[in-house]
Amino acid sequence: MVLYLCCRKLCTSFLSMCSLSIILADLVMTLLITMVWFLGAERSVVSPCFLLAHASATYGALPLPMMCLGLMDYCLEDAYLCNQSTFCKFLRNAFLTLLVWMLAVIYSFGDVKAELMELDYMSGIRVLVCEVEESTLITYFILGLFTAVICTMLPFWSRIPQLVKEADRLSEMREEQENQRSDLLFISTNYGDTKNSEENYLEETISPRPPLWFSLTLGFGMVWMPYLTLSVACLVFGFGVPAYITVNLLWLECTNSLLVGVVFWVKSKTLGPYSHLPENVCLWHIYWHLSKGTQQQQLPIAVFNPSKGKKNTHLYV
């Protein structure tokens, strides 16, 4: 469900390929654990401790290389990668994803001790336990991101309901505009009418407008604050969660939204709200217009006046 909601265009970016790989890895791990459970520890080739210990180490080694390669992928998207075909992007992302998983598996075999250990659970009670790892990087990442979003929103706390309402209005009007343009490519008009329609496109209702960094943070927080809050609550109450649970699709898509938002913010200074970044669950374009206004929201359309011939044909970009 998370993959369907967050990844509209699969395999077009490195992190979307990583999302698909995590689903496949979770499926393989579930099947292996199920097989061990049906066969029993005595008849199974590997023990449950072996599977869980190596899985936690493998998943724990994934976050840093995935974040670095994902950020590099988005930074280079408007350079030369955007000219590559979809098939070339698929092969590149598949190779990098497979390489990351291979290195993580190799790391787990060289660092993990998958033997059962005897532990004094209570006085007079001894239990056999298996050591699994937590992902320290994800712990600090979630705490830092949650704190940063809260601190960013504090100066504009009283205006958040009004800004969210305005963002919803812009989103609805953008959907109406896209529906109209999907049915009409060539429009009979003239330059003066087009200019007036751009000036009166939307009524400006937010004054003063918030800075761009806050608008993009608000767009990110509206989607991912529930996940961050639940994760921080687990950390505060001391719930130990192995890496093969914390390194999940929700974390990866949250990281994906963060990286896309940062790259979008940097590139919007020169490209405006339009770039070659892949679609994301956060509405970055809407929150860009929340800060910069709506006069630049008109998308490129071809304008043709058949009654006046080629001399009065206008192309607005």
- Whether residue 50 is predicted with pLDDT greater than 60 in this model: the reply is yes
Model pLDDT, residue 202: 42
Question: Lowest-pLDDT range, 43-57, 87-101, 107-121, 258-272?
Answer: 107-121
Summarize pLDDT for 218-253 with one digit per residue, the tens.
999 999 999 999 999 988 888 878 899 999 999 999
Q: How many CA atoms lie within 13 A of 225 on its CB side?
A: 13
Summarize pLDDT for 279-315 with one digit per residue, the tens.
778 888 888 888 877 654 444 433 334 444 444 444 3
- Whether residue 263 is predicted with pLDDT greater than 50 in this model: the reply is yes
Span 53-64, average pLDDT? 92
For residues 200 and 139, which has the higher predicted lDDT (pLDDT)? 139
For residues 67 and 183, which has the higher predicted lDDT (pLDDT)? 67
Domain boundaries, the chain: 2-316
Model pLDDT, residue 286: 86
Summarize pLDDT for 203-225 with one digit per residue, the tens.
455 567 888 899 999 999 999 99
Model pLDDT, residue 185: 41
Summarize pLDDT for 74-87 with one digit per residue, the tens.
888 766 555 677 78
Summarize pLDDT for 96-154 with one digit per residue, the tens.
999 999 999 998 888 777 777 777 777 778 888 888 888 889 999 999 999 999 999 88
